[in-house]
Amino acid sequence: MAKTKNYLAFDFGASNGKAVLGRFDGKTIETQEIHNFENIPLLVNGTLYWDILKLFHELKVGLGKAVKVSGGSLNGIGIDTWGLDFGLISQDGALISNPVHYRDKRAMGMMEKVFSKVPPKDVFFMTSAQTLEINTLYHIYSMVLSKSPLLKIADLMLHMPDLFNYFLTGEKIGEFTIATTSQMYDQKNKVWARELLKRLDIPYEIMPEIVMPGTVIGNLLPEICQETGSPSLPVIAPACHDTGSAVAGVPVRSDSGKTWAFISSGTWSIMGVEVNEPILSQKAYEKGYANEGGVAGTYRFLKNITGLWIIQECRSAWEAKDGREISWEEICGLASQAPPMASFIDPDNPIFAKKVTDMSENVVEFCKNTHQKIPLSREEISRAIFESLALKYRVSLEQLEDCLGKKVELIHLVGGGSKNKILSQWTANATGLPVIAGPAETTANGNLMLQLIATGDLSSIKEAREVIIASSKLDHYEPKDVDLWNEAYERYKNLVV
């Protein structure tokens, strides 16, 4: 019998983080969440920051717990985070300032300023990446225009997972999948987009060396081992962008023969497919589809959709008002009680982009502005959000199929949203496609699988996905009420297309 090996995955999301211990027996992997924590940004003097030192503290707490749970037997650690955000390192190796949140106001209006120097189409073809105001590019460019002294003294830029790897090992290295979220990286040639950076006066020399997913970064620093009780163990770069690890963990059967798409459902929803080369077409550019780095030589052709962010923000406001915790089961129960197809929103409308005191007021405002029935109760608001998200998936799916020139036959819904039975079923209903939901911990699974590949315990991503299938309980959903959803979709398109 193969000896069980223990690997530790840290998954930092935009609203919370977790440490997941994976026990691999040679055929299946058993996962256990051993630590979780909130990721709360802080507004200081008008700037929205991430509290990275608190997050690093939570990382060390999680590592210490893993040491105890595993009996001191750990074989590797890997970290993935949300995309885009970064910190700057000085010449003497110090973090110059807390990383700024991607939703901070400093990026507002920066796209137009960048495009006045480099046309948007040129930026797309230079980087293959999505054009989003929250991208690293526009935050860095705001620092260029403001003549930020921080940028002047910076020796290196590191994205969030790269920062954590640096804190753990002392190695200042960038990872491929997270670099591709920046809109400053030439994905086709796998180098930083030097010409783009030059035209925008962004210092090329602060861009880090890039390694591929599945690379051993280095070993834990002695002081980390001493503080946490951990043995010396390798710190491995999985797909350091959480979506990259999530897609690596999609339980796809290699012999299914079906064209599949993924929806990684969390604060953001990311819809796309796995491809062997970046897709750089006029159609992709026009429809807002773009590319991000994947694993094993692949790319993810995808589109970001505002995901559970809106209902998460509504829930937070309702909890504050009620003075109690409200479960997701309760919110889904509320949604199921409201009349169907009464009101819709466009999750990607700018009205929902910024953090506000009560997001449900923005839902009401959108419906007023679009002359719809006003959702007044929590039941109606919850239903409008979930139905609209499922219908937005169909909009994005049809755009995806148009770019690919072929039909998608199956959707894998992964991430935290896959536990939401209403959203999973309504996604099947809205798209008219079968949906396989789960596992919820796909990101942690993908992270762990890439660690196993890096250490030689698994040989390929194909083998890794078979391990995930053997280890997971998956839920299957077939489309229902297709005529009702088709009629709703025709109305919905008029709002968002």
Element (H, E) at 199: helix 194-199
Q: How far apart are CA 84 and CA 81, in angstroms?
A: 9
CA proximity to 296, closest of 75, 438, 440, 454? 454
Q: Cα–Cα distance between 326 and 322 in angstroms, integer?
A: 9
Are the C-beta atoms of 112 and 270 separated by less than 8 Å?
Answer: no
Is there a catalytic annotation at residue 122?
no
Catalytic position from the list 242, 346, 475, 481: 242
- C-alpha angle 379-385-386 in degrees, rounded to nearest 5: 90
Round to whole Å and give the CA distance between 63 and 69: 10
Say which amino acid occupies 331.
I
Quick one: residue 24, left, alpha or beta (phi over 0 = left, psi -120 to 50 = alpha)? beta
3-state secondary structure of 417: helix
Please report, to the nearest 10 degrees, the dihedral formed by the alpha carbons of residues 407, 409, 410, 411 taken in order: 20
Task: For residue 320, give the DSSP letter.
Answer: H
CA distance 345 to 82: 25
What is the DSSP pairing of strand 268-275 with strand 260-265?
A: antiparallel
Identify the three-state secondary structure at position 218: strand
Q: How far apart are CA 473 and CA 445, in angstroms?
A: 13
Q: Where are the alpha helices (DSSP H) in 48-131?
A: 52-69, 110-117, 120-127
Burial of 150 (0-12, 13-18, 19+ CB in 10 A): middle
255 CB-near residues (< 8 Å, 6+ apart)? none
- The answer to whether 318 and 328 are in contact (CB under 8 A) is no
Pairing of strands 47-49, 42-44: antiparallel
Measured from the Cβ of residue 140, the count of other Cβ atoms closer than 10 Å reads 25
Are 411 and 263 spatial neighbours (Cβ–Cβ below 8 Å)? Answer: yes
CA-based nearest residue to 273, from 416, 405, 454: 405
Structure tokens at 451: 């660690």
Residues recognised as catalytic: 242
